[in-house]
A and B are shown apart, each in its own frame.
Chain A
């Protein structure tokens, strides 16, 4: 039974709320923002190569990451979710649901595969870890039981990348935007 189904069981939730919240410490739910973070590991190969650049330019820009047969990494994917803690389960999202979703939408297609050859999104996009973050964020943002806050990917122990979706426009962005009529 997943969290969503569970939440809809009105009697169970009502009983749980009575039973649990009466005895628990009163918590100002809306004062705190809680996130759940989960790490996954996948091994994949890639080659950094842009069709828009010449052979020489590709080698100059990407260096040994441009070597023709590619190379691989053990990627660590960190997924962060936010939401209300269900008082009956103490959870933002059930890990079994999250694990199944990430496995189905990311790991099955990426783990022990070539990002360039096996993932259609990278047929015309360089599989840098920046682009990988964006691709994985889009694949996971429809997780039905909590809000996806961000994905963070560690390509090696020395570099990592994060993507949290398109940021909302600030007033400064608005002010800096040039009016096309000008």
Chain B
């Protein structure tokens, strides 16, 4: 099995706020991520697809096709957007790295027809990232 990874970057703003909690609780749990006008990050997304190379093309999947899927599903939805207000898939969820990675998995998995989505890794900064796998799948190749 071959693992193939493509990386893209997008910039977006967000804030952490749970309307069901008091202002003090929000502040205590989320700290400066709770600042009311939000803040932004340069996110780096690594998408890994697993599969066998096609006997004729030698490809697990066409990188151009993966690039187009990422452009359509991720860039157009999230790049230069406010994740709390402009991304319906995240509505009602706190846009943490964990939740964004999960939403991206759900957007991409049905679109990848050749090979199987193996891992979504989303970096919010070089020091913080979330990984998403299908449960029970091998987590080799980290």
Residue numbers of A with Cβ under 8 A of B are 1, 6, 12, 15-16, 18-25, 27, 30-40, 80, 85, 87-92, 94-96, 150, 152, 162
Task: Looking at the assembled complex, report how far the CB atom of B128 sits from the nearest CB atom of chain A, in whole angstroms.
Answer: 6
- Contact status of A16 and B21, CB under 8 A, knowing A23-B91, A31-B134: yes
- Which of B48-56, B66-74, B102-110 is found at the contact surface with chain A? B102-110
- Contact status of A24 and B133, CB under 8 A, knowing A16-B20, A38-B127, A85-B102: no
Task: Looking at the assembled complex, report how far the CB atom of B78 sits from the nearest CB atom of chain A, in whole angstroms.
Answer: 14
> Is B65 in contact with chain A by the CB < 8 A criterion?
no
Chain B residues lying within 8 Å of A94, measured Cβ to Cβ, are 29
Task: Looking at the assembled complex, report how far the CB atom of B76 sits from the nearest CB atom of chain A, in whole angstroms.
Answer: 18
Chain A residues lying within 8 Å of B126, measured Cβ to Cβ, are 39
Closest 9 CB pairs of A and B: A90-B94, A23-B92, A90-B96, A24-B92, A35-B131, A39-B127, A19-B20, A37-B129, A15-B20
> From DSSP, what is the main secondary structure of chain B's interface residues?
mixed
- Please measure, in the bound complex, the distance between the C-alpha atom of A38 and the C-alpha atom of B92, giving whole angstroms: 25
Residue numbers of B with Cβ under 8 A of A are 16, 18-21, 25, 28-31, 89-99, 101-103, 105-106, 121, 126-137, 139, 142
> From DSSP, what is the main secondary structure of chain A's interface residues?
mixed
- Please measure, in the bound complex, the distance between the C-alpha atom of A34 and the C-alpha atom of B126, giving whole angstroms: 18
CB-based contact A6/B18 at 8 Å: no
Contact of B96 among A15, A18, A91, A96 (CB under 8 A): A91
Task: Looking at the assembled complex, report how far the CB atom of A24 sits from the nearest CB atom of chain B, in whole angstroms.
Answer: 4
CB-based contact B130/A34 at 8 Å: yes
Chain B residues lying within 8 Å of A33, measured Cβ to Cβ, are 132-137, 139
- Please measure, in the bound complex, the distance between the C-alpha atom of A27 and the C-alpha atom of B30, giving whole angstroms: 23
